[in-house]
Chains A and B, each alone.
Chain A
């Protein structure tokens, strides 16, 4: 978790989310995109036409590049908030 900034910030105790069936540690309140990036995921899906890997770009819910599924619902990972037991599927909506 070296990418998480430690200086000046006190996080709540970590929880676990499930990413494609794999357990990934995360902190309640941070976005799913943050949890994934911190865990070393960079590509969240492939672009539909050229099939190229894509990851978070704008981080404010505009670009839709970080689209994942939380449960059955497609949602930009940067707009989804981490909570214990969240089930995430990568690969966009295809």
Chain B
């Protein structure tokens, strides 16, 4: 491997969404040398993902309210004095050997580099849960989160007639976004019923502005005459080489598909579907922080205190990666994490820290009530997991089916890593990121719960790194040849 000389910072922040940007800004303003690392070319994360710098708004505000929030966070970050490393993929994290702190290995267009810091704020956000169904691997089927990237950043419609399916606020945001951009929504298919939405209303009232925005989305969908099917699930994506239609069936509250009723059919050339968000805690798991399984928070989460400290000194987790609670809460958690890191490093006096943190905590309480209400719509539906047909591939990379997973358990696999070893499920290039949560949910049903089923061991590389980049460029003449061993 090429030698990498580690540069130093006081605080490294991994991930440039609202949590990461606010963490890096807060730590820098408090006097710490903070460095934000993100693989994208600009800050924003998924929720505030910016269009390419070469794309311009035709009029101020044309990119929508989320773009404006993202722009203000990017401005605050630039003003804070925090250093940034965008276009930079963190592929390894480790405890710093021979010193207290952490090492982050990254690669960018210039090759490999390493950073060291006594404090690490993890702000890696969430990944989307998409529970498998027949045809979900067909071209033209995308995640709801993918659709938001297309709409917000790439300025691309997912298709000409798009079916929008799944659950949670993203469902409405994407359907409304497609319509607003001039696209055609073939139908909205929601796992939730009206009463499910009404149940989260009290929590959602904590942010009347966001609630009003959601209501406008629903009104827009209704005004366009778009079919809105509640308590329904997509049971198949149909088509030979690409999706051309979907089949739908009613579901029970827990997601169990009602196979007795005649399935409905909607013609479409794209399906965007998502079943909620799962906290991305690879980094804190690799580093060995204490985690627990918290279904209401979206899955496995790092245990943390009110200042976002994990069980490992110097390691903080902010934003959705620590439990799904939405963008507004993520920004505040990031700020709290950045301040706590600065305080723990001695850059910020204890009393000053308390003064700065107190108002943030109050605002966080409000933001959390809204975010948690929305998270309630995105929890895993056990009945939908149970309804995955036997012949459906669960692992997209290796085409491992539900039946193969069940068989591995029947033959004695007790947890997901044994299933992985026996079936290759989770061994493909995505490294189990797409199937990991589903496999665990499938196995959990057979072995007595999520804690027993466990999770795929988190490993580096966090993202695939081309071997050529790891090796670097060298001449054969430069390779040191060890002296032969004495005979």
A19 lies within 8 A of chain B by Cβ: no
Asked if residues A59 and B434 are in contact (CB atoms below 8 Å), the reply is: no
Known: A8-B62, A57-B396. A2 touches B160 (CB 8 A): yes
B37 lies within 8 A of chain A by Cβ: no
**Chain A: which residue is nearest B49 at the CB level?**
A60
Cβ of A36 to closest chain B Cβ, rounded Å: 11
**Chain B: which residue is nearest A44 at the CB level?**
B139
What chain A residues lie within 8 Å of B138 (beta carbons)?
53
Asked if residues B137 and A3 are in contact (CB atoms below 8 Å), the reply is: no
What chain A residues lie within 8 Å of B146 (beta carbons)?
56-60
**Docked complex Cα distance between A2 and B159 (Å):** 9
Cβ of A5 to closest chain B Cβ, rounded Å: 4
Asked if residues B55 and A59 are in contact (CB atoms below 8 Å), the reply is: no
**Docked complex Cα distance between A16 and B155 (Å):** 18
B66 lies within 8 A of chain A by Cβ: no
Q: Per-position contact with A for B52-67: 1 when CB-CB < 8 Å, else 0? A: 1111111100110000
Known: A34-B150, A59-B142. A4 touches B156 (CB 8 A): yes
Taking CB atoms and an 8 Å cut-off, the chain A residues in 43-94 that contact chain B are: 43-44, 47-50, 52-65, 67, 73-74, 78-79, 81
What chain B residues lie within 8 Å of A29 (beta carbons)?
51-55
Cβ of A35 to closest chain B Cβ, rounded Å: 9
Asked if residues B140 and A8 are in contact (CB atoms below 8 Å), the reply is: no
Give the interface size bracket for B toward A.
35 or more
B397 lies within 8 A of chain A by Cβ: yes
Asked if residues B139 and A54 are in contact (CB atoms below 8 Å), the reply is: yes
Pick from A30, A42, A65: contact of B242, CB below 8 A: A42
Known: A60-B146, A67-B429. A9 touches B56 (CB 8 A): yes
Pick from B58, B398, B468: contact of A8, CB below 8 A: B58
Q: Per-position contact with B for A1-40: 1 when CB-CB < 8 Å, else 0? A: 0111111111110000000000000011111011001100
DSSP class of B's interface residues: helix, strand, loop or mixed?
Answer: loop
Cβ of B179 to closest chain A Cβ, rounded Å: 11
Asked if residues A59 and B150 are in contact (CB atoms below 8 Å), the reply is: yes
**Docked complex Cα distance between A21 and B454 (Å):** 47
Give the interface size bracket for A toward B.
35 or more
Asked if residues B399 and A42 are in contact (CB atoms below 8 Å), the reply is: no
Cβ of B89 to closest chain A Cβ, rounded Å: 8
Asked if residues A58 and B143 are in contact (CB atoms below 8 Å), the reply is: yes
**Chain A: which residue is nearest B45 at the CB level?**
A60
Known: A49-B398, A73-B466. A28 touches B139 (CB 8 A): no
**Chain A: which residue is nearest B435 at the CB level?**
A63
Asked if residues A47 and B62 are in contact (CB atoms below 8 Å), the reply is: no
What chain B residues lie within 8 Å of A43 (beta carbons)?
139, 241-242
Asked if residues A9 and B137 are in contact (CB atoms below 8 Å), the reply is: no
Known: A56-B146, A57-B146. A7 touches B182 (CB 8 A): yes
Asked if residues B55 and A63 are in contact (CB atoms below 8 Å), the reply is: no
Asked if residues A52 and B137 are in contact (CB atoms below 8 Å), the reply is: yes
Known: A34-B150, A56-B146, A64-B429. A3 touches B52 (CB 8 A): no
B329 lies within 8 A of chain A by Cβ: no
**Chain B: which residue is nearest A3 at the CB level?**
B157
What chain A residues lie within 8 Å of B128 (beta carbons)?
58
What chain A residues lie within 8 Å of B242 (beta carbons)?
42-43, 53, 55
Pick from A8, A10, A27, A53: contact of B139, CB below 8 A: A53
Cβ of A75 to closest chain B Cβ, rounded Å: 8
Asked if residues A31 and B154 are in contact (CB atoms below 8 Å), the reply is: yes
Asked if residues B55 and A9 are in contact (CB atoms below 8 Å), the reply is: yes
What chain B residues lie within 8 Å of A65 (beta carbons)?
396, 430
**Docked complex Cα distance between A63 and B142 (Å):** 11
What chain B residues lie within 8 Å of A56 (beta carbons)?
142, 146
What chain A residues lie within 8 Å of B428 (beta carbons)?
48, 64
17 sampled A-B residue pairs with Cβ under 8 A: A7-B62, A9-B56, A11-B155, A29-B51, A29-B52, A29-B55, A30-B156, A31-B154, A34-B156, A42-B139, A50-B399, A53-B242, A55-B242, A58-B142, A59-B142, A60-B149, A79-B39
Closest A-B pairs by Cβ, 4 of them? A29-B52, A55-B139, A8-B62, A59-B146
Chain B: residues with CB nearer than 8 A to chain A? Answer: 39, 41, 46, 51-59, 62-63, 127-128, 137-143, 145-146, 149-151, 154-157, 159-160, 180-183, 241-242, 393, 396-399, 428-430, 433-434, 463-464, 466, 468
Q: 9 other contacts beyond A54-B139, A62-B430, with CB at 8 A cut-off?
A: A5-B183, A10-B56, A30-B52, A31-B154, A43-B242, A47-B397, A53-B241, A57-B434, A61-B463
